[in-house]
Amino acid sequence: MRKQIAAANWKMNLSISEASILLDQLAATSPNLSEHQEAVFAVPAIYIPLATQKLDGLNHFYVAAQNCHPKANGAYTGEISAPMLASIGVKHIVLGHSERREYFNESDSFLAEKTNAVLSEGSTPIFCCGEPLTIREAGTQNSFVETQLINSLFHLSEEQITKVVIAYEPIWAIGTGKTASSEQAQEIHAYIRSVFATKYSQAIADQISILYGGSVKASNAKQIFSQPDVDGGLVGGASLIATEFVAIINALK
């Protein structure tokens, strides 16, 4: 069975005391995850050591980074490399979030370099893709997302691609309160899987976890995650509330 993943993206939020309290609350609930389930916490880089300490000993709980630089080292002031993250035990890195694409002009080719860097460390890229509202309204979301995947991931081998987690995020639903219906989520997740099946094989495509990201909350997670091609979620605002995110973890199938 494919990995079912509840991934928290804290973005640029919380003070150190707030982060500590939230992590304590999450650790206290200790959701009982099955072998095929994971809870991943993409916290601000400055809080990675704290999160690692607080979540230590919880089965199938992982601390992730929200970004990395494609180079292993060098004169890139303010950046953090995949080897650095691996050296402190981080094995999941979010790449290509729509906010990074929009605010920091990250291109598909740049994200291909980042993906290579993460995989070279034996770490797991959580690769984000998704369309803005104008593309959705034009009905061209499938080709838009397919182009993102082709440009950034199709150079990978079969072995490499199975190590990548995809996070589909309808940009028009991020932080807006709007959510794609479970049917809409299933439709494009199935299409994304078909893109990988065409490039690689159906067997390879069936191994790739595809997460939904876009105003996931406790009240809608179970319905969204119940869809056959939805393997969990990349969660923003709701991941900052312990009871909400625990409910989302418990909604994994």
Q: Are 216 and 247 in contact (CB under 8 A)?
A: no
The values of phi and psi at residue 201, to 5°, are -165, 165
Rounded CA separation 15/20 (Å): 9
**For this structure, is 169 an active site residue?**
yes
Please report where in the chains the tokens 């893709």 appear, as a residue. Answer: 129
**For this structure, is 69 an active site residue?**
no
Given the residues 92, 97, 189, 244, the one annotated as active site: 97
Q: Are 127 and 166 in contact (CB under 8 A)?
A: yes
Please name which of 146, 83, 150 lies closest in space to residue 114, comparing C-alpha atoms. 83
How far the first Cα of the chain sits from its last, in Å, is: 10
Please name which of 142, 119, 144, 135 lies closest in space to residue 189, comparing C-alpha atoms. 142
Given the residues 69, 169, 189, 244, the one annotated as active site: 169
Q: Are 28 and 245 in contact (CB under 8 A)?
A: no
Residues that are catalytic = 97, 169
